[in-house]
Amino acid sequence: MDTALASALAAATRAANRPVAELCAEALAQHDAAQDAALAARRVPLEHLAASSAASRSALAAIHAALERFHTQLKSASEHIQQLQDKSISLSEQLDTRAHEEAVLAEWLGAAAVPPPVVRLVRETTPDVDVHAWARAVHGITMHLRMLNEYEAAHGTGGSGDSARAQAAAIAEQCKRAAIAKIRPHLLSLLRPLRTSVTTALPILQFSVLLPHNQPLYHFLALHAPRAAAEVQLAYVNAARLFYETAFRRYVRELRRILQRWNEPARPVAHAWRTSEVYAPERLQFASLAAAAPVLAHQSEDTSFRAAPEHLFHTLVLVFLDTACSEYAFLARFFAGVGMRELAAADAVMPAESMLSLRADEDGTVPATREAWRQVMEPVVAFFAEFRTALLATPQLPLLSLLTTATLAQTLLDTAAARRCLVPDLEAALMQHQLDVWPLVMRALDAEVEALRGVSVGAHTRSSGSTSGGFLERWGVVSSTDLARHDAPVALGQVRQPRRANTDPGRIRRAVHGRGPTESAAA
């Protein structure tokens, strides 16, 4: 390579006829000039670039400073936001706590503070205007007083007389006193018709007015004014006692007038074949609760009207039982609150089946209720006993009549027990009839046995001259020789064993009206 360079230089020297040094200096000068020209051409852009770079550095410095300031501000803002977030969480927790406390306070205020409409109702109206609104109002007053008492028991009686709690308690107490002052005369006014007229429908008053609509008012009175409630109960007992006494006195008097017209002679069953007048089979229906036509009081004015003693007893004892059960069910529900709701609906109606009985879930065994029932029904029990005595004293009362009344009395005992209204006094009245009637039944059976003994047991000669067997033989029971035996009285005496409430009406009917084939042919 060096050889080639040297050859090139030599050729250039010969061609220019100049020395190599001059040629090299000239080439260097030309190169420098070209470089200067190139640099001069690039100077302006480079100056612009330098100026731009300087401006960029200044801008970047300013941006850096701004970013530093923004970072500082962002850090401060982040810290402030964290503080705000913490404060927000704290406020939210406080708000939830306040909301819960507000709900509890609102609930307590709603329960403890008597609403203004209730205050106006108690102050400006009486129960007879809107008894259902009054029932709701007294229930609310009871709940307000209960809430205040529970709060006082839990937190003590602290606080001044000007506190909201003290004011609420004072308003509730004033409403209670005002309600008591208006409920007492209202309930007494409902009982006034019982003392003035016997035509008042007592069951309608009991189960359509007092129980469904006014029992909450008496319940309120019994809770907050026991003496006033006792006064209302005493007023009811006296009014109902007078009502029943008057009604049953008149009814028993008319039934006794009809009983006195009964003059049917009692003929032994053994003599039934001798006469056409026998015991009417339809009279056996009075041994049960069958719906027989009752004997009304006004029928005594018809002097031609007659009714069998057992018919009269059937009518009176059913009225007596229904009255006793209805009265006991009412007393247990109204005064003892058995099975009653605290609030009464506007359209509340007592079911008809519950007027004469208590449900299985109703516990009516309240001593105070039984005592009130005894006081109310004492005249009724006395009049029933009076009629029983007069009926059993009826001369020549048929055996089947006695058995009919005894069977009916036992049926009524079972009915009263099924209704859950078997009060001891009611049970005693019906059992006393059993105790009184069975000796008469035994006496009548003795008379029947004696009548059977007196029947001819030998050959019976008719006017036509034909002979036939005796009465018992014609019935196919025994022969004449059987009655001649020494044990015949023992066999006949077996019919003297009465059984309590175990009478077979079909067997009785057959014994009175049934005839054997021999007798039918002879007749």
pLDDT recorded at residue 142: 87
pLDDT recorded at residue 455: 67
Q: Which of 82, 112, 142 is the last residue of a domain?
A: 112
Distance CA 256, CA 99 (A): 78
| Assigned token pair, 401 | 């009549």
pLDDT recorded at residue 474: 46
pLDDT recorded at residue 478: 45
The answer to whether position 413 is within a domain reads no
pTM of the model: 0.68
Distance CA 389, CA 248 (A): 16
DSSP conformational letter for 348: -
Interior angle at CA 465, CA 461 and CA 466, nearest 5: 70
The answer to whether position 80 is within a domain reads yes
Q: Which helix (H) or strand (E) holds 38?
A: helix 20-112
The answer to whether position 243 is within a domain reads no
| Assigned token pair, 421 | 């209204």
Give the per-residue SS3 of 174-203. Answer: HHHHHHHHHHHHHHHHHHHHHHHCCCCCHH
Name residue 460's beta-bridge partners: 468
The answer to whether position 480 is within a domain reads yes
Q: Tell me how crowded residue 30 is: count the other CB atoms within 10 A of its CB.
A: 10
**SS3 state of residue 461:** strand
pLDDT tens digit sequence for 454-512: 765 444 444 444 444 444 444 444 444 444 444 444 443 443 344 343 444 344 334 33
pLDDT recorded at residue 520: 33
Q: Tell me how crowded residue 309 is: count the other CB atoms within 10 A of its CB.
A: 23
CA distances from 498 to 15, 352, 501, 506, 510 (A): 182, 38, 9, 17, 18
Question: Consecutive 10-residue runs of the chain (523 residues): their mean pLDDT?
Answer: 74 74 80 83 83 89 90 90 91 90 75 81 90 90 83 64 74 90 93 78 87 90 93 94 93 94 77 64 84 87 90 94 93 82 49 74 76 95 95 87 92 92 92 93 86 60 44 45 43 40 40 36 31
pLDDT recorded at residue 260: 92
Q: Which of 81, 112, 143 is the last residue of a domain?
A: 112
Give the per-residue SS3 of 425-443. Answer: HHHHHHHHHHHHHHHHHHH
Q: Which of 80, 112, 144 is the last residue of a domain?
A: 112
Q: Residue 344: which of 519, 156, 210 has the closest Cα?
A: 210
Q: Which helix (H) or strand (E) holds 476?
A: none
Beta-carbon contacts of residue 7 (< 8 Å; ≥ 6 apart): none
Number of structural domains found in the chain? 2
Distance CA 493, CA 483 (A): 12
Interior angle at CA 34, CA 31 and CA 38, nearest 5: 140
The answer to whether position 516 is within a domain reads yes
Q: How many residues does the chain have?
A: 523
Q: Tell me how crowded residue 208 is: count the other CB atoms within 10 A of its CB.
A: 15
Residue 34 structural domain: 2-112
The answer to whether position 276 is within a domain reads no
Rounded to the nearest integer, the mean pLDDT of the chain is 79
Find out whether 387 and 315 touch, Cβ atoms under 8 Å.
no
CA distances from 477 to 28, 359, 471 (A): 180, 51, 9
The answer to whether position 27 is within a domain reads yes
The answer to whether position 374 is within a domain reads no
